[in-house]
Structure 1
């Protein structure tokens, strides 16, 4: 049996400390196989292996090593290794570290000096933090990350980084698990670790909220908005347009008819709760949806505690959102405006963070809340845009 090196012994001792004192982190950490390497400056994980540079480990005090290991295992626990997409590896690592480090510190663990912590990002998902970071950080050395599953990994170099996240390895053989399977395995492991830590009475502060935010960030808000929109609009069945999906089977079933809808109301919260990027993304998606739905008329309301401005677009006119206002938020004036102007609204769609006063009674038309915040509404369908 091979004798452990001094660094390996320190890591084993730190793993044991986590398992006893912080079972959530400790249980998950045993899923990662330790691999010594000099190709990463600090530590890195792809959700399968824990790569560590012995020179870096030697710089850490015992308590800091425990904290860095907890930091590292949070990357796959929050699915950071499967959620990067086409984002810059370097900037993605920054965003992930900003999301993780407060959780480690709130759990009473120690981290080395100079780690990435910013109170602006507390409670945010890595996706939202990524979008808020300065675009100038996008083109640094870490953008040349090695491909998935490399035997000699190259982790992005991040100022203040102590443990990087690599993409989950692509399967090389038929028996290997694909990315989706790896993500599911970690989800199950996290649920089991949560159960174990609850039994021990040692659930780390803020982790459950971050796990929820991570799951929500995986939802494509565009698809959810389209689905909610489609479900809310009236449709009818007609034998004049048979359902072509079933014709090949000799079944003549009625098809759905959508010859355009009536009037739609889009309400934009101008209290400062929606940033320029979110406004632009929302506008582009609304335009795309409207092209397919062909509404007779679209009313756009700009409001805070009152409706400051309205625009009307007829069928075929592309909408252009130009916010006006500022201050608090009260949703009731929007519903009053619809009633006072006798608009036969097929639907009202809000772009807001949902921080405001809602009417006591639900209107008799569908309401969709494209929400940039974390609140829930007492009625209507909430489409989370927090990661946008």
Structure 2
């Protein structure tokens, strides 16, 4: 006997069922969907080129063969249900214009809600009327604009609302006593309640597997909703609970990757929600207090251990979560000490502290090393650094504003210290000049005699000045981006700073090169000339490499002379083989990671 052949579900039906399941489970639409009847069979009221129509009796007739993505079916079915929930089935003089007005409001509602995807167009609707009735009266006076055509689900030339429809066969579904507006009200209440529960961590996100809401995710959601000090950082970090990844990285409990904004929690550790709060707060403080950037050449593991002692002591004083049962680093004798002081203490007994275990494991730090060692000095690293500092700074202000309780004095001091504004760009540029151009020692010389005294006009007297030859080779090169995108104020500010610092550092001449799509060699200019009116050449495209090559290979330019490259950041990758620095506007980033310093002008 041959085995019976089972017919597989076609693609159109599969996508429709996925959309219907989502809408039926959505807290806002679930009460409406439970009372509506969805008709998807041959011979229903849906037009041939339509998607779905809704009747005043609560029947939603869906095209039985049309293919669409599940996101599109979500939009179509939600659109149909909202006709019932908004009470759109009213008798009007121009039923077609009333239907169009209702379609406009539903399209705008779903677009603002970001639910599903319309089958045609992006669903964007701009309305000036305050209600469907006002929009209907506007259509009656001025006609229906072309941009408001085909916003319904019935197809071109058809209305997707049908009053008093003809019967399409026997039906035992009685919707005569259903209050559709009341169903929508219940759905809105359920949606708000669900949103609060999701934020609090006691309910999974819509469409997510209920099993994924682990204690670590509940703890993370608790920080977002209830603990402003670390809420911003908790919202920006991704929690990874994959035992395979944790075993590969040798993570026994938890670790943090500040560069990737990821926190790894090993589910095999068996932490409960309170313990997860403690562990996550521990990792947040590692990043927020810039422990990775503050190592400053110290042994990474011992520095990590010192920071762990400080953080765990603070968290226990704050009563934040529960200290993990599997252990951690805590020593009451180290209370009140800074991480730097603890490090200086533990390096005297390296053998003992090499055997202690962080949350990652014995001999391993829970601050994962970055993929690129100097990522804190890169453009994006600086942005992350500022982000982490601002998270803790703003969180501290919210903590006190909402009177969330006392915090350890050491933690508050570190956050306040990290919240101080960074060094101004002109101060950093001055340090750069000091590095290459140390002050000249003046000597008594007769090469340029000083003004003679009136009492003894025949006696020449020496004056103080730099010794002969000290100014030789005391210069640097400037490659100035003179493309059309460079702001004139930016050029003036940069040239003014260069002239001022050159004069104060006894730099007699500066080699200047203008560069846009071509190179314009200006030769050596005195700082006084740069400070005066300078005629800029260029204002075309941006190609800086020829200007850099000119200075690097110029025979009249010292081999050890540094370069200062002034650009707005809209340039291609360049190669510089000598000491150099970039001067760019604040907020701009170079399309590459330079080896030299980067100063950002305000």
TM-score tier, shorter chain, comes to: 0.3 to 0.5
* Bigger Rg, which one: 2
| Larger RCO (CA within 8 A; separation ≥ 6) | 1
TM-score by length of 1: 0.48
TM-score by length of 2: 0.32
**Could you say which structure has the higher strand fraction?**
1
